[in-house]
Each structure stands twice: as structure tokens, then as C-alpha cells.
Amino acid sequence: MSSPGRLVEILRNKGVLTPGWAPTVAAVDRAHFVPDTFEVEGRTVTRAADEAEWRRMVYADLPLITQYNDGQTPGDGQVGFPTCSTSMPSLMLAMDAIVQDGDAVLEIGTGTGYHAAWLAHRLGEDRTTTIETDAILHGLARRNLERAGLRPHTVLGDGLLGAPERAPYDRTIATCTVRDIPYAWVAQTADGGTILTPWGSSFHSYSFATLTVHDGEATGGFSGRPSFMWARQQRRSYGRIGDWYKGEQGDVATTDLDPRVLEDDPDARFAVGLRVRDAWPLLYPADDGSDEATYWLFDDAHTSWATVEYVPGRDAYETEQYGPRRLWDEVAAAYRDWREAGSPPRSAYRISISPSRQWVGTG
């Protein structure tokens, strides 16, 4: 069976399909929103090559990547990074747990239009507004929604500014990651309403922030491990090691901090990411069975890099730092401060937004 019924079955078997959303998942056919070629789990699926496989994946509980590099073909040696997908349906359901009948919702990141179609089907076209920054994707989503027979309000523009013309919204749901939550979202969300967004820094971008709006301010906490594309205006740098490292000699020292703890402990990575927001790590394991690894750090401004050479059995590791920023020193200091503070888990942190400032802390 390759039909919306298959997706319903998968989600029901996984125990994630709530009664409120079941009729919508059954009625809105994901096939209207998926292009003839997409990427799933690292492989390309093309309808013309294998229609049955294409349909099997359309109704899978998997994210399907529909665009890379803002629609530009990556040049020779350039990194391909995903810029649009239809999200994993079970993740959509997890996000939509905040939605109730009667809500007016603003979705940031229309993408294929599939999620907007869910919202429009359940809440009504007039209660659903969705905004997309990419003109081509916006046009495709409108066409997809038309095919599905649904007409929510679709806006072309920068969703970081919200969509004030139809505010206030009971729920503001972003399907792209932000590092700063725009105050416009707070201003355009009704008193008592909710903002839900993938949130993070370049260092760690795998959290949902869920905030309640009250008296023009918003407060909330963090959950989940979502992996969403960045809001285009706030995204981190992408590239290969060679885009930062051109063979220069950096300053060499040693550290007794095993850099792998920063990969393995998501709470540590979250906390370090609060301090080192515009740099990111890459653990590069050796391919000779030595269990050695190089921990790289790169800054978004493309001015600095650092490495830590992990070797098993040692208790000191060589570091090398290049450029105006001492990236390893920054990361190590942030980690040690977090440990000294008692290693608070991510769940201990709160986020607050007022018209003049935005902060995250445990206090």
C-alpha cells in the first residue's frame, strides 16, 4: 500500500498519531507536495526511474530533502547543504502538539507547503498563514497547495519579520532554525500564545525553544533534538576544512581536556554553544584503525581555526590555533565554567525575550 493510509499506519504503529491529527494526515496527500526527485537518507529517489520506490518514500516517516544550496548547483569542490525539505511527519506531529482547534497559526518556512496544508486542513484556511523567503519555493508551494485543494494564506518574504498583516497568532511555529528569536514573533503572537522554533547556535543547533507570550514578553525552555535547516538570514558558515585551513602554522600548545566529551555530551555542547555561538566543531576520526581523531573548530567569519589531536591512552593532547580568535581556548573555558557551575542540563535553562533583550540562563 503506497497511499496516505500507509503514512497513517506507520504513525499509528509508532504511537505518535493523535486523534486530533489523524483525519488530517489521512486526507492531505503528501504526494502533492513532493517533487519528482528528492533525497532521502543520503540517496536520490527519482519518480521516472522507480515510481513504486518514489511512492514508498513519499509515505515514509522520513524527511525528504527537496533543495540544496538555495537552489544553486554547488560549484566544483563546494559543499552541498540542504536548504529545503518536507519534514519528518512524526516530528511535525510532535511540534503540532501545541496546536488546538480554533487556533490561528503563523508558520515560518513554507517549504513544500505540506505542513501548511495540515494546518489549513485542521484549522481552516483562514486561520493558517505561512511565509517563505525563497520565491521559487513559495511558487512551488502555492502550486502544491492548489493541487491538494487547500488555500491557506501564503506570503513571500522574510519570516524573521513575521507576517504582521494577519497578526495576532495563537501559535507561531518556525520550521527553520534561528539563533536569535525575532521580537516581531513575540509582538505578533497573542497574549497567552505560544512560539515554537528550532533554536541554537553554530556550535549546537539541536533544540526546540517553546515560549509563552505574556505582556509583550516571552519566556520558555528547551527540548527535543531537531535538525532543521537554518533561517537563511541567520545561518552558520558551511565549507570544507580547506576553506579555513590553507597550510598555515598555528600556535601550538597542549590541553588535558579530551575534546570528544564535547561531541558525546549534548548538555555540554548546548552550554558551550551559549558562549561560543559563531563557531562550530567537526570531529574527524582517523581512518587507520588508530582510534585517533582531530577535533576541528571553525569560525563563521572564516578568520580562525583550531585543532586538538586526540590520541588514545594519553592525558594531554596537542592543540593548534590560528587566526585572531583562540577558538579552542574559548571552547575549553566555556566547558570548564559549565562544569564548575555543576554541569546544569539543558532542561535547567530558560530563555526570555523582551523588546530590548534576549537571554538564556539558569537563574
Ligand X SMILES: C[S@@+](CC[C@H](N)C(=O)[O-])C[C@H]1O[C@@H](n2cnc3c(N)ncnc32)[C@H](O)[C@@H]1O
- Stretch near ligand X under the rule CB under 6 A, chosen from 105-113, 203-211, 285-293, 344-352: 105-113
Contacts of residue 289, defined as CB under 8 A and 6 or more positions apart, other chains included, come to none
Residue 108 binding ligand X, by CB under 6 A? yes
Tell me the C-alpha distance between 316 and 257, whole Å.
Answer: 7
Dihedral angle, C-alpha 330, 229, 110, 98, nearest 10 °:
-70
In the list 95, 231, 331, 334, the residue contacting ligand X (rule: CB under 6 A) is: 231
> Which CB sits closer to ligand X, 232 or 260?
232
In the list 4, 109, 182, 200, the residue contacting ligand X (rule: CB under 6 A) is: 109
Tell me the per-residue interface mask from 65 to 84 with ligand X, x by CB under 6 A, - otherwise: ------------------xx
In the list 232, 275, 277, 350, the residue contacting ligand X (rule: CB under 6 A) is: 232
C-alpha cell belonging to residue 128: 493558517
Dihedral angle, C-alpha 83, 88, 91, 93, nearest 10 °:
120
The catalytic residue among 2, 3, 85, 87 is 87
> Which CB sits closer to ligand X, 115 or 325?
115
> Which CB sits closer to ligand X, 132 or 299?
132
Q: How far is the CB of 254 from ligand X (least distance, A)?
A: 41
> Which CB sits closer to ligand X, 5 or 157?
157
For the stretch 240-263, what's the b/e string if a residue is b when 16 or more beta carbons lie within 10 angstroms of its beta carbon? Answer: eeeebeeeeebeeeebebbbeebe
In the list 17, 229, 308, 327, the residue contacting ligand X (rule: CB under 6 A) is: 229
Residue 160 binding ligand X, by CB under 6 A? yes
> Which CB sits closer to ligand X, 99 or 272?
99
Residue 137 binding ligand X, by CB under 6 A? yes
> Which CB sits closer to ligand X, 233 or 362?
233
27 burial level (CB within 10 Å; 0-12, 13-18, 19+): middle
Active site residue 343: no
Q: How far is the CB of 68 from ligand X (least distance, A)?
A: 12
Tell me the C-alpha distance between 114 and 321, whole Å.
Answer: 45
Tell me the C-alpha distance between 171 and 294, whole Å.
Answer: 43
Tell me the C-alpha distance between 243 and 160, whole Å.
Answer: 29
Cell 486561520 locates to 127
Beta strands in 224-337 (DSSP E): 251-255, 279-285, 293-299, 305-310, 317-322
Number of residues that bind ligand X (CB under 6 A): 26
Residue 233 binding ligand X, by CB under 6 A? yes
Return contacts of 287-295, CB within 8 angstroms, 24+ apart. 293/259, 293/260, 295/259, 295/260, 295/262, 295/263
Residue 202 binding ligand X, by CB under 6 A? no
Going across the sheet that includes 317-322, the strands are 251-255, 317-322, 305-310, 293-299, 279-285
Residue 111 binding ligand X, by CB under 6 A? yes
Residue 132 binding ligand X, by CB under 6 A? yes
90 burial level (CB within 10 Å; 0-12, 13-18, 19+): middle
Residue 148 binding ligand X, by CB under 6 A? no
In the list 159, 193, 250, 259, the residue contacting ligand X (rule: CB under 6 A) is: 159
Residue 189 binding ligand X, by CB under 6 A? no
State the number of CA atoms in the 13 A half-sphere of 185 facing the CB: 29
Residue 131 binding ligand X, by CB under 6 A? yes
Which residues are the active-site residues?
Answer: 87
Binding residues (CB under 6 A) for ligand X: these are 83-87, 108-109, 111-112, 114-115, 131-134, 137, 158-160, 175-176, 228-229, 231-233
